[in-house]
Amino acid sequence: MTDTHTPDAPVLHARGISKFFPGTIALDDVELRLMPGEVHALLGENGAGKSTLIKCLTGAYRRDAGTLLMDGQEIHPVSTADSQRLGIGTVYQEVNLLPNLTVAENLFLGRQPMRGGFIARRRMNEEARAVLAGYGLRIDPAEPLTAYSVAIQQVIAIARAVEMSGKVLILDEPTASLDHDEVQLLFDVIRQVKARGLAVVFITHFLDQVFAISDRATVLRNGRVVGECLLAEMTQRDVVTMMLGRQLEARTKARDVGPAGKTLVEIDDLGKRGMMAPFSLNIREGEVVGLAGLLGSGRTETANLIFGVEPADQGRIALRGQDISIKNPRDAVAHRFALCPEDRKIDGIVGDLSVRDNIILALQARQGWMRPIPRAKVEEIARSYVRALDIRLASLDMPIRLLSGGNQQKALLARWLATNPAFLILDEPTRGIDVGAHAEIITLIEQLRADGMALLVASSELEELVAYSTRVVVLRDRQQVRELTGDQITPDNIINAIATEEVA
Amino acid sequence: MIRSTHLPLLITLATFVLAYALCASAYPAMLSLRVVANLLTDNAFLGIAAVGMTFVILSGGIDLSIGSVIAFTGVFLAVILRETSMHPLAAFALVLLLTTAFGTAMGATIHYLEMPPFIVTLAGMFLARGAAYVLSTESVPITHEFYDTLQGLYWKVDGARFRLIGGLMVLTFIVGALVAHRTRFGQNVYALGGGEQAAKLMGVPVARTTIGIYAVSGGLAGLSGIVFSLYTSAGYSLATVGVELDAIAAVVIGGTLLTGGYGFVAGTFFGILIMGLIQTYIVFDGTLSSWWTKIVIGSLLFAFILLQKGLTWAAKKRAAQARMRTATGSAALS
Amino acid sequence: MTSQTIGPRPSVMRRILPQLVILAVALALNVAVFPEFFEIDFRNGRLFGNLIDVLNRGAPVALLCIGMTLVIATKGIDLSVGAVMAIAGAVAASVVVDGHGWGTALLAALAAGGLCGLWNGLLVAVLRIQPIVATLVLMVAGRGIAQLVTEGKILTFDNPGLIHLGAGTVAGVPTPILIWLALGALVTFVVRKTALGMLIEAIGINERSSRLAGINSRVLLVCVYLVSGLCAALAGVIVAADIKGADANNAGLWLELDAILAVVIGGNSLLGGRFSIIASLIGALIIQSVNSVILLSGLPPEFNLVIKALLILGILVIQSPRIGNYIYLLKASGPQPEPDAPASRPTKEETAR
């Protein structure tokens, strides 16, 4: 499988790449061969090492071992700008262009056409128009970038990367926030780039897209290469098996769902214009409702609307049959709701405060500033959760930002469990944490359910959702598309529910 | 179609026209060329300094030191012309070199120590003002025939005298606008203001640009100091206190976003004229007290800050809705 | 005092030790240039001495830096405090000139300062304008408003009650000293005995997370600007009372910068988060001691600003994240420090996202 016959020499050949972070091996002896005129998919689950590998290629990280050969010559990019000069262009998920400049200015920043010491604006705009027309875009390059949709901005970013670099184009989840037609537009552009003889690296979670556009794939798992293959010879199932490292069927275990209790939260037509189509959802005590869907499908938006992070502009929420009003997180906390957000760094931890303060933060906020929790009580709460959740730390006084991802996540769980919530929302509770903590958090979710708590868990890891959910709601394009219960809950069914809509 | 990024500039222009119309309807004499000529002469030093401030603010920074640098320049020139026989032109060159180096040093501190521009330029403000004090605490008159020659240069139209320093300001604005909009340095300034991280990823030389911006601001503050010494024929270490605030106000009233990234050098020119107009009106009125200038400028500042906030908010809202439209649009397809 | 607080921190003494050392050095310099520096006399029912002068003259900046510390802890800044001082002084003066008592004048001044603080707070918390921009408005317009109140004159008064606040004594101690000591103690007590201090720090470090944890960040933000306005008002009254007149042009001129400087010298990060009011107050005393050295040494007062600037620069270098990383690496990696800090790079990239 690894030894496919190759007519050409690779444009970029990464050999024996290793990268260590304190406590973990992010990349272990990884090889990547990029052929000219080929789209090469880089596949793997979250945390498999895809983005670390990309950062090593583009000079954002310094690799700890291994060689990079560009057309047979060894290269040592030290920054993204440096790798750009060497011929490696990168386009990220969030567009990395400047919103305050025009399209042409973005396209030509740093290499504007000059005349007599000044930028030749008209010529720049004309050239920009010509370049973009080559990618099938007929737009006014003198308009500000933000006048155009994300898809068009993405194409502009690709055009810039190709024009500047010209050998390798890395696309890091470029389609995450695009709809079907926009993806097709992007694919047309990728085909043109390929036809020009560039090597394209394509990273995505969407397997359909991988098979639609890619010629070859390298699959990573836990920082190692599982295999390199020609996609024409593979099925989706083969690839998924390589990524997960086990047969899917083997994992769908028989779940012991206890009897769920009374309905706790009823959500009716909750929605917000410009953010999330109205949705309804009932959650009972002793029940875990899973939220499945691709990135940008509305998982986080659902959680944020229920918790009042973004106030809804329609619909109602009832708690134990009583209508309640949630205009902000404070209201939600007052009704014993809790939300562990997706982005720990931005929405979760208060980095410079001690672990202790972070754990009691929500409880203290609910009590109000006038009634400080006595020191002894604080100590008791913090210690008991550190013990119960096995949070590894040197001292409760250390700033929480110094903890590892998994321990930060557990401390955040402790923050919310300390408020004794009736309804716990977890948004991607296991993203970016190590295997041990991963398993512990899943066990904890099951245990909380058994104790009668109502949980709503959003996750992109299907295996995980299947393991603990009593029901799974599938989202697409910020709408609920399917609800799965009982034996219906299998990764295949979830993928089908997401994909049927996708293909249509 | 009018591009949305030009909107603040248009509003500034409209404000200027409206303000001038109001002034003229109250005091028709304000329509005269003399008033225009005086507007340019009286605000020359502020205008030149504001050009530098425009670059700084466009990049998302701030420079609190310019008032002190102007005062230092004035005192330095006065003392050097009194104590030595150096020709004023040589003294000008020397002081421009000094102030540019000063700005360079501040820019380097901001970039390499990763400290907020606010606090670094605050230190610069103290340092420059202190240096001026050390040179002389008293007002030092400048008497040099070359100064008389320069001050005597003007272009007379219908009894209005367009003086050298007013012309210098206009020239500075033209050069500043060219640099901002037609050079790579200028584009890099905008890029920094749009987002340092993205700019860095796009290959903008962040260190060189940041240091360059503060060097320009320091140098223009020096030029402004030269103009101020021509304007007052003296150097005084207590002069031009708070000019940085006036310059910031002019930049904001000129339609430049205080958070950086959006704005035009030309806008600042009209910001300066609007502020000059307010002062002229109060002089013409005679009964209004001078403190109304501060209150009116403060209110204008507030209005423009609100306006910018509103425009940013509207743009965000539009973008969100556009996203949602494409999302639901595709759902309808399926 | 700390043993009962919420979020106990590693001992107040250790936190303020660097500031105490700097203060000791500054005081030692005072003694070096003027050996009788520490001598305190008791004459005519009042304490006299250079040390008392430092405490007394430092009162306005000390008062300002109490509010400023809280504002900076929320990642904000209040540029308007100097102008607010002028407004409050003008209001107090005009009230007593109109024949009202000193109590009314003080209340009116506090109300004016509170209003200014509220205005700043609403701009920052509700309209979400960045603090430096929001408070700039009042910094520019504030002196105009003060002049409007005094009608452009220096408004003098001879109300003994009001003058007592700035120039009088209580039990031999100048009133301003007692005022800033009392207010400093009161605010420290309130923020540390309740959960307020921790909540303010949480907002300053990560407002989004704090809001999501259920903290009412909007109200808290308004409150810190309100406190800053009140502190400025008090400082304004003291300054006016001291010179027996309200000078709208010069009262509190550039004191906002001294107050910010005091907070920074106090080791509080301008990027928000952990704060110590005590350390800021020591910072204010350090500034005043430096002023005193210059005065006593017979150096021309012109050097004052240069020394202040050098002080800021020194502190900047110490506080700089770059230098901090470097020192950390020196300590961590022993004899062979890696100059370009590969380990710190990914974290920097990530936090910037």
DSSP string, A283-338: EETTEEEEEE--TTSSHHHHHHHHHTSS--SEEEEEETTEEE--SSHHHHHHTTEE
CATH for A250-336+422-504, options being 3.20.20.70, 3.40.50.300, 3.65.10.10, 3.30.70.20? 3.40.50.300
DSSP per-residue codes, A228-278: EEEGGG--HHHHHHHHHTS-HHHH-PPP-PPPP-SEEEEEEEEEETTTEEE
Query: Would you say residue A102 has pLDDT above 60?
Result: yes
Q: Quick check: C206 contacting A, CB < 8 Å?
A: yes
Q: Is B317 at the interface with chain A, CB within 8 A?
A: yes
- Whether A79 has a pLDDT exceeding 90, the answer reads no
CB within 8 Å: B130 and C309: yes
pLDDT above 80: residue B47:
yes
Nearest CA of chain C to the CA of B198: how many Å? 10
Q: Which long-range contacts (CB under 8 A, 24 or more apart) does A359-363 make?
A: A359/A385, A359/A411, A359/A414, A359/A415, A359/A418, A360/A415, A360/A418, A361/A415, A361/C198, A361/C202, A361/C210, A361/C213, A361/C215, A362/A333, A362/A338, A362/A415, A362/A416, A362/A418, A362/A419, A362/C213, A362/C214, A363/A415, A363/A418, A363/A419
Give percent above pLDDT 70 in chain A.
Answer: 90
Are A12-100+144-245 and A250-336+422-504 the same fold in CATH? yes
- Which residues on A lie below 8 Å from C198 (Cβ)? 353, 357, 361, 364
Given an 8 Å threshold on Cβ–Cβ distance, is C211 in contact with A415? no
The DSSP-derived string for A58-122 is TTSS--SEEEEEETTEE----SHHHHHHHTEEEE-SS--S-TTSBHHHHHHTTS--EETTEE-HH
Inter-chain residue contact C206 with A351, CB threshold 8 Å: yes
Output the pLDDT for position C72: 95
User: In Å, what is the CA distance from C274 to each residue of A187, A261, A394, C1, C9?
Assistant: 50, 45, 20, 18, 10
Q: Which residue of B123, B245, B309 is in closest CB contact with C316?
A: B123
* pLDDT greater at residue B43 or residue A246: B43
Residue A5 has pLDDT above 60, yes or no: no
Is CATH 3.40.50 the classification given to domain B4-325? no
Question: Given a cut of 80, is residue A147 above it in pLDDT?
Answer: yes
Chain C residue closest in CA terms to A348: C209
Q: Which pLDDT band holds residue A254 (cuts at 50, 70, 90)?
A: very low
**Contact residues, C window 155-194, toward B, CB-based 8 Å cutoff:** none
Q: Which amino acid is at B36?
A: V
Backbone φ, ψ for residue C9 (5° rounding): -110, 160
d(CA C167, CA C180): 14
Residues of A in contact with C200 (CB under 8 A): none
Mean pLDDT for all residues in chain A:
84
Place of tokens 């208060």: A350
| pLDDT number for residue C7 | 43
Residue C39's CB: how many other CB atoms inside 10 A?
11
Domain positions in chain A are 12-100+144-245, 250-336+422-504, 348-420
Distance CA A357, CA A351 (A): 10
C339 touches chain B (CB under 8 A): no
- Block means of pLDDT (10 residues each) for chain C, 353 residues, are 42 81 89 88 86 93 97 94 96 93 95 97 92 88 91 89 90 93 95 92 93 92 97 96 90 87 88 91 93 84 79 74 60 40 34 34
Chain B residues lying within 8 Å of A97, measured CB to CB: 198, 202
Indicate the residue of C264, C307, C310 with minimum beta-carbon distance to B119: C264
Judge whether C112 and C88 are in contact, CB under 8 Å.
yes
Cβ atoms A35, A216 nearer than 8 A: yes
Number of helices (H), then strands (E), belonging to chain A: the values are 17, 22
Q: Quick check: C144 and B62 CB within 8 A? A: no
Quote the pLDDT of residue A435: 63
Q: Phi and psi at residue A462, in whole multiples of 5°?
A: -65, -45
Which of A44-48, A311-315, A352-356, C235-239 is the most confident on average? C235-239
Residues of A with Cβ-Cβ distance to C271 under 8 angstroms = none
Q: Is C74 on the interface with A (CB under 8 A)?
A: no
Reply yes or no on whether the pLDDT at A353 is more than 70.
yes
B chain contacts of residue A151, beta-carbon cutoff 8 Å: 326
**Mean predicted confidence (pLDDT) in A135-148:** 87
| Confidence tier at B319 by pLDDT (50, 70, 90) | low
**Contact with chain C for residue A60, Cβ under 8 A:** yes
Burial class (CB in 10 A: 0-12, 13-18, 19+), A327: exposed
Residue C6 forms contact with A (CB below 8 Å): yes
Per-residue pLDDT averaged across B244-268, rounded? 91
Q: What's residue B331's pLDDT?
A: 37
What local confidence, expressed as pLDDT, does residue B67 receive?
94
Q: List all residues of chain B from 119 to 158 with a beta carbon under 8 Å from chain A.
A: none
pLDDT at A4 (0 to 100):
43
Range scoring the smallest mean pLDDT among A2-11, A220-229, B150-159, B196-205: A2-11
Question: CA–CA separation, B238 vs B135, rounded Å?
Answer: 12
Chain C closest CA to B272's CA: distance in Å? Answer: 15
- Give strand pairing partners of A220: A225
Ordered DSSP codes for A332-357:
HHHTTEEEE-S-IIIII--TTSBHHH
Task: Say if residues A57 and A88 touch (Cβ distance below 8 Å).
Answer: yes
Q: A331-350 pLDDT, tens per residue?
A: 999 999 999 998 888 889 99
Evaluate whether C49 touches C34 at the Cβ level (below 8 Å): no
What is the domain partition of chain B in residue ranges? 4-325
- The yes/no answer to whether this complex scores an ipTM above 0.90 is no
Enter the tokens of residue B84: 């030595």
Closest in A329, A347, A357 to C198, CB measured: A357
Q: At what angle do helices B206-232 and B164-182 cross, to 10 degrees?
A: 170
Q: ∠ CA(C11), CA(C16), CA(C22), 5° rounding?
A: 155
In angstroms, the separation between the Cα of residue A250 and the nearest Cα of chain C is: 37
Interface of B with A in 211-270 (CB under 8 A): 261-262
Q: What is the pLDDT of residue C235?
A: 96
Cα–Cα distance for residue pair A269/A387, rounded to 1 Å: 41
Q: For residues B96 and B223, give the distance between their C-alpha atoms in angstroms, rounded to a whole number.
A: 7
Beta bridge partner(s), residue A119: A114
| Average pLDDT value for residue range A220-234 | 87
Q: CB-CB: which of B62, B109, B294 is closest to C144?
A: B294
Closest partner residue to C302 (CB to CB) among B122, B134, B197 is B134
- Nearest-Cα residue of chain B relative to residue A96: B198
Give the mean pLDDT of A116-143. 90
**Rg, C-alpha atoms of chain B:** 22
Distance in angstroms (rounded) separating the CA atoms of residues B26 and C258? 43
B288 interface with C at CB cutoff 8 Å: no
Which chain C residues touch A377 with a CB distance below 8 Å? none
If contacts are CB pairs under 8 Å, which of residues 53-82 in chain A contact chain B?
80-81
Chains that touch C (3 or more CB pairs under 8 A): A, B
Residues of C with Cβ-Cβ distance to A76 under 8 angstroms: none
Q: Is A118 on the interface with B (CB under 8 A)?
A: yes
pLDDT in tens, C90-149: 999 999 999 999 999 999 999 999 999 999 999 999 998 889 888 988 988 899 999 999
Q: Do C6 and A372 touch (CB under 8 A)?
A: yes
When mean pLDDT is compared over A310-319, B53-62, B141-150, C6-15, the highest value belongs to B53-62
Q: Chain A: nearest CA to B251, how far in angstroms?
A: 18
**Is C317 in Cβ contact with B125 (below 8 Å)?**
no
Nearest residue of chain A to residue C344 (CA atoms): A61
- The answer to whether the CB atoms of B187 and A112 lie below 8 A apart is yes
Name the CATH topology of A12-100+144-245: Rossmann fold (3.40.50)
- Which residue segments constitute the domains of chain C, with CATH numbers given? 19-319 (1.10.3470), 321-353 (no CATH)
> Does any CB of chain A come closer than 8 Å to the CB of residue B191?
yes
Q: Which residues contact C318 (CB under 8 A, 6 or more apart)?
A: none
Check CB contact of B248 with chain C, cutoff 8 Å. Answer: yes
Q: How many whole angstroms separate alpha carbon A349 and alpha carbon A314? A: 30
**A353 contacts C7? CB cut-off 8 A:** yes
Prediction pTM value: 0.83
Round to whole Å and give the CA distance between A458 and A289. 8
